[in-house]
Structure 1
Amino acid sequence: MSGEEGFDRRIEPFRTELFAYCYRMLGSVHDAEDLVQETWLRAWRAREQYDETRGSLRTWLYRIATNACLTALKSRGGRPLPSGLVAESDPLAPLVPGEHAWLQPLPDSLLGADDPAVTVIDRSSLRLAFASALQHLSARQRGTLILRDVLSFSASETAEILDTTVASVNSSLQRARARLRETGIRQELVGEPSAAEQRTWVERYMKAFEAADVEAIKRLVTEDVLMEMPPMLNWFTGRANYGLFMNWVFDAAGTEWLLREVTANGGQPGFAAYRRVGDVHQAHTLQVFTVTAEGIDRNSVFQGAEIFAAFGLPAEIP
């Protein structure tokens, strides 16, 4: 391939979808960004070796990205969420921090709303529940399932990307699908409300949260709602338990909050919560919701300066 500027123009349209791929593989926004940069560097160094007659540019780039991801995963475990790792806890039990690396939420702003590549990204495959389920697969099973079932590469293309045989791809895919079924998570979200309807549910939740109205909050969540809060190991289910926990939150952290809307993981609505401390509001939690036609079904609550930074949010607001 000749012409450095021409090479840059040809590979640039794949940047966003490769970033989404690396996020699914690693479960980390920061790692995904680093691996896309690594992919670009490797592709640049090998640009003269690319042979258009032997395969598409997209397949070639995915092979480079996959190799980078698999190398990175040799020294790292999966990034699950607490509900997929430990037993359910009492909603009023002391919060217990875990030593694990947890799945991080993906800011939709990093997908580039004006990027044409976003239209070809399967949004359901970025949802927190599905992304967390992927973390329970081995690295190669994860790559196989994403390449085949999410990105729709053929078995032969997947074998080329993974540098293996079609038989090995088919076997790995069967094991990955079986393991995913055990988690109870499906990629497709049947009956998911429209984006506007989901945002309406969360806006009502935000008003109730700002008013510290626990009864109103309970009316907005489903009977079997799940709440988890990495890096804490604690998680629980049920509307009554949710109410008990929210009463504790407002008793412990006060009732003066500022909230900022966010959107994560391919369209999941949420908000950043800032707690009043003295003359400022300090970053407290970033909450991402799964919404069904019956209400809010899951609240994944994240903490940490790196989470707020990834969403371009300040650490405090005067």
Structure 2
Amino acid sequence: MPGPESRLIQPDVFVELTSPFRAELLAHCYRMTGSAHDAEDLVQETMLRAWRAHSGFEERSSLRTWLHRIATNACLNAIERGPARRVLPAGLGQASDVLSPLELGGPEVTWLQPISDTRLGDPAASAISRENVRLAFIASLQHLLPRQRAILILRDVLAWPAAEVADLLDTTTAAVNAALLRARRSVADADPGRDELTEPDDPTVLALLDQYAAAFERADIAALTELLHADAQVQMPPHTTWFRGRDQIVGFFESRVTEADHVKMVPIRANGQPAYATYLLAAPGRYRANSIHLPSCRDGRIESIIAFLDPSLFAGFDLPETWPGLSDMRGRIRT
């Protein structure tokens, strides 16, 4: 009698069947965990589980739905084992004074991560998917309990029926609907400016961001001051220190952004929006990976800058750690 292994679908056939869903599964796992690295691992785990269980797939639902069920359970198990919540500095306390020293978060702090658009199958092609990978939205999801998070994502992002969500989570439709209402309120409270941000690919926004990058490279504090919104904020994980207000931010920039051509800003895309990979001068003509910048705009000014000071993130954007010819790449990375 054939053993269980003989009933496994051939790997190449399985890859052909499931590869169309890989990017959206990655986006789903990223929304659940807030970590690009964990999301990649969870998609791998999902695919392995699905391959092993494929002989038992009864096609009572679509393959897409079945894979999302497996991925959701994998995410919930991972969150139970690891950090339940990833944060940005503004989620840890009040804004700092410009004279405050930069303080690093301790081992108890687990940071939210950005994710490359190329990993997500170009969310910029869809207004809905772009909105649902926006960093502020991902951060707001982290305020929810894991099952609440799953309910909101399955209902409001993937548009699953409440009964199907209830079946997955082994609960009632009424409980799903009640949890969804609470989750929506919590997300709205955590992300109050969701409807006020400017469309990230608006030509005026792109021009504004180009001015921002050029001013940063020139260390032009006057130009940066003009570009900032009066209520702007700057966050720099893994530092818990963050600043709110144009004057505070300019004071910080004056002490840090001091030399022209010391920084190079390479345009990329992250979380469905334009972003920058920043490189710092390490030797004449040679720059080293420093941070991933996600600037957001409102009212014709830059309202938020989140700079992830973690060079290890560059690998997830297919970017090198060092780069001697950055000027040749300008305009070829952001699509």
TM over 0.5: yes
| Correspondence for 2:73 | 67
| Correspondence for 1:58 | 64
SS in 1 for 2:275: strand
Q: Which amino acid is 2:28 matched to? A: Y
1:109 aligns with 2:115: no
Distance 1:188 1:36 in 2: 31
Q: 1:59 to 1:120 in 2, by over 3 A?
A: farther
| Correspondence for 1:32 | 39
Distance 2:28 2:161 in 1: 16
Post-superposition offset of 1:112: 3.1
Query: Contact 1:214 / 1:243 at 8 angstroms: preserved in 2?
Result: yes
Distance 1:24 1:233 in 2: 22
Counterpart mapping for 1:52-201 below 5 A: 52=59, 54-75=60-81, 76-99=83-106, 100-113=109-122, 119=126, 122-185=129-192, 188=195, 191-192=198-199, 194-201=201-208
Structure 2 residues without counterparts, runs of 5 or longer:
1-6, 325-335
Post-superposition offset of 1:109: 1.6
Distance 1:108 1:176 in 2: 26
Query: Contact 1:193 / 1:292 at 8 angstroms: preserved in 2?
Result: no
Query: Contact 1:111 / 1:118 at 8 angstroms: preserved in 2?
Result: no
Q: 1:6 to 1:317 in 2, by over 3 A?
A: closer
How many percent of aligned residue pairs carry the same amino acid?
Answer: 43
Distance 1:250 1:120 in 2: 35
1:14 aligns with 2:24: no
Q: 1:275 to 1:2 in 2, by over 3 A?
A: closer
| Correspondence for 1:304 | 310
1:288 aligns with 2:294: yes
Distance 2:227 2:86 in 1: 29
SS in 2 for 1:126: coil
Q: Which amino acid is 2:276 matched to? A: F
Distance 2:127 2:257 in 1: 42
Count of aligned pairs:
313
Post-superposition offset of 1:120: 8.5
Distance 1:48 1:245 in 2: 59
Q: Which amino acid is 2:19 matched to? A: E
Q: Which amino acid is 1:305 matched to? A: P
Query: Contact 2:215 / 2:221 at 8 angstroms: preserved in 1?
Result: yes
Distance 2:160 2:194 in 1: 17
Q: Which amino acid is 1:264 matched to? A: A
How large is the RMSD of aligned CA atoms in angstroms?
Answer: 2.3
Structure 1 residues without counterparts, runs of 5 or longer:
none
1:227 paired residue among 228, 234, 241: 234
| Correspondence for 2:327 | none
Per-residue deviation, residues 240-261 of structure 1 (Å, max 9, x unmatched): 112111111124x775222211
Distance 1:152 1:189 in 2: 24
SS in 2 for 1:94: coil
Q: Which amino acid is 1:312 matched to? A: D
